[in-house]
Structure 1
Amino acid sequence: MLKYVDYDIVFQEIPDEVTLAINLSNCPYRCKGCHSPHLQQDIGNELNESSLSGLLQVYEKAITCICFMGGDADAGELYRLADFVWRSRGGRIKTAWYSGNDKLPEDSKEHFDFVKIGPYIEALGGLDKKTTNQRLYHIGNKRKI
């Protein structure tokens, strides 16, 4: 089961997209300097098709992408929800995943338009630093509705 703590419309997470970023809890990584250490706890409300549909009904006219910030603790459920977004909105809303994994999970390419990987390493900085270990992949649309 996935739980979300909060969400916001953001403009910098995914380039050229207006993104509904959903912060998921129960992160298995313990990155030093994490900007959201409270997300390491098992807290928040269940994220399921019903709660996701509610968020999409409110924000779908304002966004072009939905980004799951975390979800590594239950990647299978995350993939299922990403596919639900894609199917239920006729492919109009792109899907993205910010993962702390250090390798791009091969099966993630089937479920997301964008995937950011890499644990946050304080000394290397985030995606805005040339020294970062984190990578953002634009996978593109490989799904059929």
Structure 2
Amino acid sequence: MKFNYLPPTIVFQEVPDEISLCFSITGCKVGCKGCHSTELWNENYGSPLTNKAFIQWLKKYQRLISCVVFFGGEWQPHALIEKLLIAKNFGLKTCLYSGEEAGEKHININISQHLNF
């Protein structure tokens, strides 16, 4: 399974008091009713978010951001945790937005231990 993403954006509202670099991860398996980003359900959409590419994005915005936000990605815990650890090593806070919280499932403890938000 691919860990694809769309080019990140700088966001200000998702995490209060933080300037965040936001990555939308494709291949969502949650399928929330009323989802406003159904294009993210297609795992072939976007480009692979390799560790090298992720580090390049962090270096590019290093002095401008305080947090990294992932919209999705929890369906690939290993790949997501790798990125969370890299972000932490850059001194950044981490956040995950997931439809899992609204459903019967909960975020994997192995992921949540690496999240600030």
TM-score over 0.5 (shorter chain) = yes
Name the structure where helix makes up a greater proportion of residues.
2
Whose relative contact order is higher, 1 or 2, with alpha carbons under 8 Å and at least 6 apart?
Answer: 2
Alignment TM-score, normalising by the size of structure 2: 0.87
Matched with 1:110 is 113
The CA distance in 1 between the partners of 2:42 and 2:111, in whole Å, is 24
Query: Which structure has the bigger radius of gyration?
Result: 1
User: For 1:1-145, what aligned pairs fall within 5 Å after superposition?
Assistant: 1-42=2-43, 43-87=45-89, 89=90, 92-102=91-101, 103-114=106-117
Alignment TM-score, normalising by the size of structure 1: 0.71
Q: How many residues align?
A: 111
Residues 1-52 of structure 1 show CA distances to partners (whole Å, capped at 9, x for unaligned) of 4110231100110111000010110000111221111000011111121000
- Structure 2 gaps of 5+ residues are none
Percent identity for Structure 1 against Structure 2: 32
Give 4+ residue runs of structure 1 displaced > 4 Å after superposition: none
Q: CA deviation at 1:72?
A: 2.3
- Structure 1 gaps of 5+ residues are 115-145
The CA distance in 2 between the partners of 1:110 and 1:9, in whole Å, is 24
The CA distance in 1 between the partners of 2:35 and 2:17, in whole Å, is 25
Q: CA deviation at 1:77?
A: 1.2
Matched with 1:142 is none
